[in-house]
Amino acid sequence: MTNPTVLPGATLGVLGGGQLGRMFVHAAQSLGYRTAVLDPDADSPAGLVSHLHVRCGYLDADGLAQMGACAAITTEFENVPAQALTALGEKLPCAPEGASVAVCQDRAAEKAHFVACGVPCAPHAVIETPEQLAAVADALLPGILKTARLGYDGKGQVRVATRAELARAWDELQRVPCVLEKMLPLAFEVSVIVARGRDGAVVALPVQRNLHRDGILAVTEAPAPGVTDALAAQALANAQRIAEGLGYVGVLCVEFFVLQDCSLVANEMAPRPHNSGHYSIDACDVSQFELQVRCMAGLPLVAPRLHSSAVMLNILGDLWFDERGCERTPAWDRVLALPGAHLHLYGKTSARRGRKMGHLTITAATPQAARETALAACAVLGLPAY
């Protein structure tokens, strides 16, 4: 079946109502679409700004039937049950498809896909049984034990140095299926966001460099400092191969490690726009969310152009507490006094430590100027310099 192009005026649906869904809704609405969000939370960031908010669980038959009235469907997080997307996909265009999302939901399947595409990833072993635990090669230690499913922001991960620690960590993780990855000597981390259309056309954002703190993305820089043209081309080619291997339609983010010997290793992928691509809203002429809209609607994809240097700082709930743990409001007025400051707050009703509340993108004419202003913003907000 060839799906018709979905033109503005139609309703686009998204499964999940978090900040990614909210920024998708903003992009869709600015192109003139109506939007529908499925999310159980009455105060979900995307539900609050959408024309329609279908408030129910992801497998609720009535809710899915309501979403089935949309002209096309996408998802904003990978842990939406793949069967919900697959069921909707029988009736209307879904980008990405349930089968692609299913691969991204499972670290073991994801790694197997990287290997099948000839894309290097960390040496690893799948641990689902005590026999597999016992058979782990010594060469994988020290390593990181990661749950195969439902991990994010460093959750569901334990660093292990010895076999005894590994056995204990697996117990701690309730012996769910896991992947043990060898700890690699990272120089730094980058990610690539590609968009692949129904016709197989692929476009990408420029490679961006990411800094994590406590397993959570803290800073993204574009263009990526320290990334040669050759390394960028390799990252783009690998991300494209991964998307093509899945027959993927939609926006896909691939996270990579750059090792100390300058080699490139794929870490994981997300079947949706990604936190590391948020800068594209303010620094590119086509954002990752507009690409998501174009992919699901079957519209042409045009290559995004980075028109400004950018630094994105993630804003976590920690900023709402002072040194003594008392609640406060961050000094947004002082942040907004900085040139090229673009503040995005997600409308979340309560701040918690580690919770993603928003992000700040600094745009400037040069990487140096973006960095200087971003460091000034860090100083105002009480964020560590990077």
Q: Which position among 154, 177, 317, 367 is part of the footprint of ligand ATP (CB under 6 A)? A: 154
- Under a CB-based contact definition with an 8 Å cutoff, are residues 231 and 214 in contact? no
Q: Which stretch binds ligand ATP (CB under 6 A): 183-191, 232-240, 348-356, 374-382?
A: 183-191
Specify burial of residue 345 (Cβ count, 10 A radius: 0-12, 13-18, 19+).
middle
Q: Based on the shown chain and the rule CB under 6 A, indicate whether residue 215 belongs to the binding site for ligand ATP.
A: yes
Q: Based on the shown chain and the rule CB under 6 A, indicate whether residue 106 belongs to the binding site for ligand ATP.
A: no
Q: What residue 134 binds from Mg ion, ligand ATP, none (CB within 5 to 8 A, per partner kind)?
A: none
Q: Which position among 42, 135, 186, 187 is part of the footprint of ligand ATP (CB under 6 A)? A: 186
233 is written with which tokens?
């081309």
- Under a CB-based contact definition with an 8 Å cutoff, are residues 219 and 210 in contact? yes
Write down the least CB distance from residue 166 to ligand ATP, Å: 14
Q: What is the sign of the dihedral through the CA atoms of 39, 269, 221 and 188?
A: positive
Write down the least CB distance from residue 177 to ligand ATP, Å: 15
Closer residue to ligand ATP (CB): 272 or 344:
272
Question: Angle, nearest 10°, between helix axes 229-246 and 107-116?
Answer: 110
Q: Based on the shown chain and the rule CB under 6 A, indicate whether residue 184 belongs to the binding site for ligand ATP.
A: yes
Closer residue to Mg ion (CB): 181 or 255:
255
Separation of CA 111 from chain center:
17
Q: Based on the shown chain and the rule CB under 6 A, indicate whether residue 141 belongs to the binding site for ligand ATP.
A: no
> Residues 223-262 vs ligand ATP: string with x where CB under 6 A?
--------------------------------x-------
- Under a CB-based contact definition with an 8 Å cutoff, are residues 113 and 94 in contact? no
Q: Residue 133: which residues within 8 A CB-CB, separation 6 or more?
A: 127, 166, 167, 170
Q: Which stretch binds ligand ATP (CB under 6 A): 32-40, 146-154, 333-341, 358-366?
A: 146-154
Q: Residue 349: which residues within 8 A CB-CB, separation 6 or more?
A: 43
**Residue keyed to tokens 């390593």:** 143
Write down the least CB distance from residue 273 to ligand ATP, Å: 13
Number of residues that bind ligand ATP (CB under 6 A): 18
Q: Which position among 50, 105, 208, 267 is part of the footprint of ligand ATP (CB under 6 A)? A: 267
Write down the least CB distance from residue 154 to ligand ATP, Å: 5
Closer residue to Mg ion (CB): 255 or 290:
255
C-alpha dihedral (226, 284, 241, 263), degrees to nearest 10 = 10
Query: Could you say which residues in the range 210-269 bind Mg ion, by CB under 5 A?
Result: 255
235 is written with which tokens?
């990252």
Write down the least CB distance from residue 216 to Mg ion, Å: 9
Q: Mind spelling out the 3-state secondary structure of 223-285?
A: CCCCCCHHHHHHHHHHHHHHHHHHCCCEEEEEEEEEECCCCEEEEEEECCCCHHHCCHHHHEC
Q: Which position among 151, 271, 273, 277 is part of the footprint of ligand ATP (CB under 6 A)? A: 151
Q: Based on the shown chain and the rule CB under 6 A, indicate whether residue 181 belongs to the binding site for ligand ATP.
A: yes
Write down the least CB distance from residue 176 to ligand ATP, Å: 15
Closer residue to ligand ATP (CB): 267 or 361:
267
Q: What is the sign of the dihedral through the CA atoms of 326, 330, 331 and 333?
A: negative
Closer residue to Mg ion (CB): 78 or 255:
255
Closer residue to ligand ATP (CB): 22 or 146:
146
Write down the least CB distance from residue 257 to Mg ion, Å: 10
Identity of the amino acid at 149: R
Dist. CA 124–CA 113, nearest whole Å = 13
- Under a CB-based contact definition with an 8 Å cutoff, are residues 358 and 377 in contact? no
Write down the least CB distance from residue 272 to ligand ATP, Å: 11
Interaction site with ligand ATP (CB under 6 A): 122, 144, 146, 151-155, 181, 183-184, 186, 189, 212, 215, 255, 267-268
Interaction site with Mg ion (CB under 5 A): 255
